[in-house]
């Protein structure tokens, strides 16, 4: 995948070390070999820190992605299979009666009876909300620097077809993406409310919009009824169904209101328009359903603001925005027509640049085979400092320029290679 998926990099540290040491020697011929090795190690730790196994998140630091009960790790996570699902969603004990109106100027005129009625209606969708477990069998080579052992993460999903298609958040199943270097070691399992279990296949994913589709080989499954999120109104009831903290609390229901619409949230890859609600969600709820009082799914629970002193700021992807993306993922496995540069990289900040005598820009850690970047001649270790006549200091700068172009457009790219500036012509390929 592009730019932000450093996990899939095949590190070529030998070549990078040679380049770096040559630059160090030019800067300071009196520096000792021990000093050079230490400086290189520090630089490599910075440039490739994201290649180590850890929880992936495209959201900025102030937003906690509600993904896992246990974060992907190199330690062995218990071998006891999930053995219990809530027998009937109507018996759930984790109901929130919170109807506080968060961040709006209107008042919610609803009593306890109306709230309970909305919950009963929403629970008709419960049979279509499933648990998802992703397990990584780590041999020690899938993740550079990782020790042996298995890692697991758990989230939620929504059945959208009788023959087993399930939509969820991309970050719930990202390691199973075939574009990810760890996909060969990843196993997906789905847990249905009726206690059936099935192995799932990754169909397609979109990290920019944090959406993915997986599939299980089952038929006659209960299908979610999708609503129209464009008709939502601030103040109406909102019911979240999912698996907070993982499978142990599967099928949990919380109740709140629609706090705001079209909240613009910077995800790092893009700015998304999200539904804001105060229906409580926690790690493990990601990919689960946000339901209206008519029992229709109007959003996919994705994130919350997790900060000291902050409560009730939860975000969901509007279902009307998600549906066309989900349709493309089912048909093609990717979003057609999206331009691709074809590199993974790391920002070289002013501080890092001064410390290691490098140029501010995007350090290229990997070049995708067959991409426009490869055909243009971009190589690992290059520092990209300009594109389309504009200065590039960060990955966000590069992506902003890319968004103004389409597949097939050609732009100039300026790189620094071993201290020398070089201009190349790059033609955007299609992201797949």
CATH no. for residue 403? 2.30.42.10
Judge contact between 95 and 254, C-beta under 8 A. yes
Q: What is the DSSP letter of 3?
A: B
Place of tokens 């969603």: 89
Mean pLDDT, the chain, integer: 75
Residues 330 and 342 in one domain: no
User: What does the alpha-carbon distance between residue 228 and residue 212 come to, in Å, rounded to a whole number?
Assistant: 20
User: What does the alpha-carbon distance between residue 182 and residue 148 come to, in Å, rounded to a whole number?
Assistant: 14
Q: Which residues contact 27 (CB under 8 A, 6 or more apart)?
A: 357
Positions marked active-site:
171, 210, 286
CA-CA-CA-CA torsion sign (295, 299, 301, 307): negative
Q: How far, in Å, are 27, 35, 275, 416 from residue 24 at the CA level?
A: 5, 10, 50, 16
Quickly state the pLDDT bin for 125 (edges 50, 70, 90): confident
DSSP string, 197-265: EEEEEEEEEETTTTEEEEEES--SPPPPPB--GGG--TTSEEEEEE-TTSGGGTTEEEEEEEEEEEEEE
Please write the tens of the pLDDT for every residue from 151-189: 888 899 999 999 999 999 998 998 899 877 677 788 999
Residue 30 lies in a domain: no
Residues 159 and 256 in one domain: yes
The region of weakest confidence among 29-38, 291-300, 395-404 is: 29-38
Residue 206 lies in a domain: yes
CATH number at residue 266: 2.40.10.120
Residues 260 and 348 in one domain: no
Cross-strand pairs, 274 = 263
Residues 244 and 108 in one domain: yes
Residue 136 has pLDDT above 60, yes or no: yes
Q: What is the DSSP letter of 222?
A: P
Q: What percent of the chain has pLDDT over 90?
A: 39
**What angle (nearest 5°) sits at the alpha carbon of residue 54, between those of residues 52 and 56?**
115
Residue 26 lies in a domain: no
Residues 381 and 418 in one domain: yes
pLDDT at 268: 59
Residues 181 and 90 in one domain: yes
Residues 313 and 373 in one domain: no
Directed axis angle between helix 33-47 and helix 13-27, to 10°? 130
Alpha helices in 29-177 (DSSP H): 33-47, 112-122, 170-173
Residues 180 and 318 in one domain: yes
Domain interval for residue 355 = 6-16+44-51+337-430
User: What is the number of structural domains in the chain?
Assistant: 2
Residues 188 and 82 in one domain: yes
Please write the tens of the pLDDT for every residue from 5-42: 222 333 333 444 445 445 555 554 444 455 555 566 77
Residue 269 lies in a domain: yes
Residues 211 and 91 in one domain: yes
pLDDT at 58: 38
Residues 250 and 303 in one domain: yes
Residue 289 CA to chain centroid, in angstroms?
17
Residue 274 burial (10 A CB sphere; 0-12, 13-18, 19+)? buried
Residue that is last in its domain, among 336, 355, 377: 336
Residue that is last in its domain, among 336, 358, 389: 336
The region of weakest confidence among 105-109, 113-117, 304-308 is: 105-109
Single out the residue of 347, 341, 298, 342 nearest to residue 320, CA to CA: 298
Residues 188 and 281 in one domain: yes
Residue that is last in its domain, among 316, 336, 356: 336
Residue 353 lies in a domain: yes
Quickly state the pLDDT bin for 113 (edges 50, 70, 90): low
User: What does the alpha-carbon distance between residue 135 and residue 203 come to, in Å, rounded to a whole number?
Assistant: 17
């Amino acid at each position: 995948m592009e730019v932000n998926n450093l996990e899939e990099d095949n590190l070529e540290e030998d070549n990078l070390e040679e380049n770096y040491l040559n630059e160090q020697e030019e800067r300071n011929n009196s520096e000792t070999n021990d000093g050079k090795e230490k400086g290189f190690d520090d630089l490599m730790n910075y440039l490739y820190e994201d290649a180590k196994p850890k929880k992936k998140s495209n959201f900025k630091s102030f937003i906690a992605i509600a993904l896992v009960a246990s974060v992907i790790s190199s330690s062995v996570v218990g071998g006891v299979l999930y053995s219990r699902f809530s027998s009937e969603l109507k018996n759930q004990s984790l109901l929130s009666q919170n109807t506080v109106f968060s961040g709006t100027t209107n008042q919610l005129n609803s009593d306890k009876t109306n709230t309970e009625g909305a919950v009963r209606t929403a629970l008709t969708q419960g049979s279509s909300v499933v648990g998802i477990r992703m397990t990584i069998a780590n041999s020690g080579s899938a993740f550079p620097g990782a020790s042996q052992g298995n890692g697991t993460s758990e989230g939620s999903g929504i059945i959208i077809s009788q023959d087993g298609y399930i939509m969820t958040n991309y970050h719930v199943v990202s390691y199973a993406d075939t574009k990810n270097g760890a996909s060969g070691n990843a196993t997906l399992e789905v847990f249905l409310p009726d206690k059936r279990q099935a192995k799932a296949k990754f169909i397609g994913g979109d990290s920019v919009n944090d959406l993915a589709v997986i599939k299980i080989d089952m038929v006659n499954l209960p299908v979610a009824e999708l609503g129209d999120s464009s008709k939502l109104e601030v103040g109406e009831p909102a019911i979240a169904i999912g698996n907070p903290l993982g499978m142990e609390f599967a099928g949990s229901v919380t109740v709140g209101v629609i706090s705001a619409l079209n909240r613009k949230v910077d995800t790092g890859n893009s700015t998304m328009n999200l539904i804001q609600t105060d229906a409580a969600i926690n790690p493990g709820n990601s990919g689960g359903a946000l339901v209206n009082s008519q029992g229709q799914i109007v959003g996919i629970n994705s994130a919350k603001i997790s900060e000291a002193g902050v409560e009730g700021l939860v975000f969901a992807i509007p279902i009307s925005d998600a549906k066309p993306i989900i349709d493309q993922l089912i048909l093609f496995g990717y979003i057609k027509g999206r331009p691709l540069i074809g590199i993974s990289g790391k920002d070289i900040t002013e501080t890092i640049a001064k410390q290691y005598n490098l140029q501010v820009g995007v350090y290229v850690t990997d070049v995708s085979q067959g991409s426009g970047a490869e055909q243009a001649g971009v190589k690992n270790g290059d520092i990209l400092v300009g594109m389309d006549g504009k200065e590039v200091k960060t990955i966000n700068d590069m992506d902003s320029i890319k968004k103004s172009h389409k597949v097939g457009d050609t732009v100039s790219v300026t790189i620094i290679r071993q201290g020398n500036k070089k201009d190349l012509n790059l033609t955007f390929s299609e992201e797949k």
